[in-house]
């Protein structure tokens, strides 16, 4: 397990109120290796933020297990969980107000986590991190004098202050322009090149297409993965690629541990499937999904009835 950073098994999360229950995760399974740069994508309500919060030690499941860096998050004491959030994970929030204290300078913000961890070489390390994110000139600047992109880059430096094993980023490019988004992603890629494990939740299509592994969550489960094609792996730094248009990744459907598969709704609609029954066959080395014959017959009968009604209506006119 030394090369596994995140191991999630059968994660279920149910949010309850007096009137309703919301199933945010429905048996999510995922393994992330140490040193990976992984993006998680999914529509609003798919469960991706819930999953990220669990990894960050901010939420617990209704069922399932989650081990990060060899630590079982759901058997920790309060003290162990506090140490985990301080030392094992670094979190970059989409909302910069959660990342920075407005009454402190950029330099002081970066040093704050190191104060809590009793880091001896705070000033030296904060200076290095400012250089890493390209903001040495903003050392004494406060929140209200920094642009959104600059605030997000300082937030990355803060998240790295205690040398976390795992860096988590929630929509890190969600409120910046394309040029700044590219710069921020370059920082993540540089960190990953140095061995940092990075997990990003994003809606940014261009950014997700540059990542070697993209995990898609749909309805609280992993539905598919996209893996960067080898022909593009060495071209990540090239500026002449239109990442929004290029088909840079191979997409794979994911079977859960019970052998279940999520089929995109668009495909089911094209098949004309009217209920939950589907024919599964193995032909010439391929799994073939098709509408049951009885369903096809029902559809033909409906078409015939429709034609008769139309003919009758035409005759009456």
What tens digit of pLDDT does each residue of 54-103 get?
999 988 888 899 999 999 998 899 999 999 998 899 999 877 767 788 88
Q: Is residue 81 part of a domain?
A: yes
More confident residue, 104 or 223: 104
Which tokens hold the place of 159? 């998240």
Residue whose tokens read 């390209």: 134
Q: Kindly state whether residues 83 and 187 are assigned to the same domain.
A: yes
Residue 29 to residues 107, 165, 171, 201, 302: CA-CA distances in angstroms?
A: 39, 21, 22, 16, 42
- Read off the pTM: 0.80
Residue after which a domain boundary falls, among 242, 262, 282 = 262
Q: Kindly state whether residues 224 and 298 are assigned to the same domain.
A: no
Q: In terms of residue numbers, what domain contains 290?
A: 266-316
Check pLDDT > 60 for residue 310.
yes
| Reported confidence tier of residue 32, pLDDT bands at 50, 70, 90 | very high
Q: Kindly state whether residues 168 and 246 are assigned to the same domain.
A: yes
CB burial readout 47-84, b (16+ within 10 A) else e: bbbbbbbbbbbebebeebebbbbebebeeeeeeebeeb
**Mean pLDDT on 99-116:** 86
CB neighbours (10 Å) of residue 223?
19
CB neighbours (10 Å) of residue 200?
26
Number of domains in the chain: 2
pLDDT at 159: 92
Orientation of helix 106-116 relative to helix 122-132, angle to 10°: 130
Q: In the beta sheet, which residues pair with residue 250?
A: 227
Q: What is the pLDDT of residues 272-302, one digit of tens each?
A: 777 778 888 888 888 888 888 766 666 667 7
Q: Is residue 26 part of a domain?
A: yes
Residues 6+ apart with CB under 8 A from 295: 273, 274, 275, 277
Q: Comparing C-alpha atoms, which of 55, 59, 60, 63 is closest to residue 7?
A: 55
Q: Is residue 212 part of a domain?
A: yes
Q: Is residue 116 part of a domain?
A: no
Residues 6+ apart with CB under 8 A from 56: 85, 89, 91, 168
Q: Is residue 121 part of a domain?
A: no
Q: Kindly state whether residues 175 and 308 are assigned to the same domain.
A: no
Which CATH number is 59's domain given? 3.40.50.300
pLDDT at 316: 67
Q: Kindly state whether residues 312 and 200 are assigned to the same domain.
A: no
Q: Is residue 111 part of a domain?
A: no
Q: Kindly state whether residues 73 and 174 are assigned to the same domain.
A: yes
Q: Are strands 63-68 and 71-72 parallel, antiparallel or unpaired?
A: antiparallel
**Mean pLDDT on 22-41:** 90
Which tokens hold the place of 262? 């999520």
Q: Kindly state whether residues 255 and 196 are assigned to the same domain.
A: yes
> How many Å apart are CA 301 and CA 120, to the nearest integer?
79
Q: Is residue 153 part of a domain?
A: no
Residue after which a domain boundary falls, among 245, 262, 279 = 262
Q: Kindly state whether residues 169 and 221 are assigned to the same domain.
A: yes
**Mean pLDDT on 213-234:** 82
Q: Kindly state whether residues 203 and 298 are assigned to the same domain.
A: no
Q: Is residue 33 part of a domain?
A: yes
Q: Kindly state whether residues 190 and 80 are assigned to the same domain.
A: yes
């Amino acid at each position: 397990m030394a090369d596994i950073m995140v191991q999630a098994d059968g994660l279920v999360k149910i949010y309850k109120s007096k009137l309703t229950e919301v199933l945010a995760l429905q048996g999510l399974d995922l393994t992330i290796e140490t040193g990976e740069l992984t993006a998680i994508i999914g529509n609003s309500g798919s469960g991706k933020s819930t999953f990220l919060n669990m990894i960050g030690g901010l939420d617990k499941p209704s069922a399932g297990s989650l081990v990060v860096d060899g630590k079982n998050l759901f058997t920790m004491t309060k003290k162990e969980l506090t140490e985990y959030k301080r030392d094992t994970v670094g979190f970059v929030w989409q909302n910069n107000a959660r990342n920075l204290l407005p009454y402190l300078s950029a330099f002081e913000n970066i040093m704050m986590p190191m104060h809590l961890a009793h880091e001896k070489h705070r000033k030296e390390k904060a200076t290095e991190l400012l250089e890493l994110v390209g903001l040495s000139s903003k050392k004494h600047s406060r929140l209200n004098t920094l642009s959104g992109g600059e605030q997000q880059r300082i937030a990355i430096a803060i998240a790295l202050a205690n040398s976390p094993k795992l860096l988590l980023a929630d929509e890190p490019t969600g409120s910046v322009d394309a040029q700044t988004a590219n710069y921020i992603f370059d920082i993540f890629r540089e960190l990953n090149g140095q061995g940092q494990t990075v997990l990003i939740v994003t809606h940014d299509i261009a950014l997700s297409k540059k990542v070697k592994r993209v995990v898609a969550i749909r309805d609280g489960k992993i539905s598919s993965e996209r893996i960067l094609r080898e022909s593009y792996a060495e071209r990540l730094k090239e500026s002449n690629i239109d990442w929004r248009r290029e088909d840079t990744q191979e997409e794979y459907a994911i079977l859960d541990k019970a052998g279940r598969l999520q089929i995109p709704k668009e495909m089911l609609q094209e098949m004309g499937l009217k209920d939950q029954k589907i024919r599964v066959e193995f032909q010439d080395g391929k799994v073939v999904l098709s509408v049951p014959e009885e369903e096809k017959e029902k559809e033909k009968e409906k078409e015939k009835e429709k034609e008769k009604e139309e003919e009758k209506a035409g005759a009456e006119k």
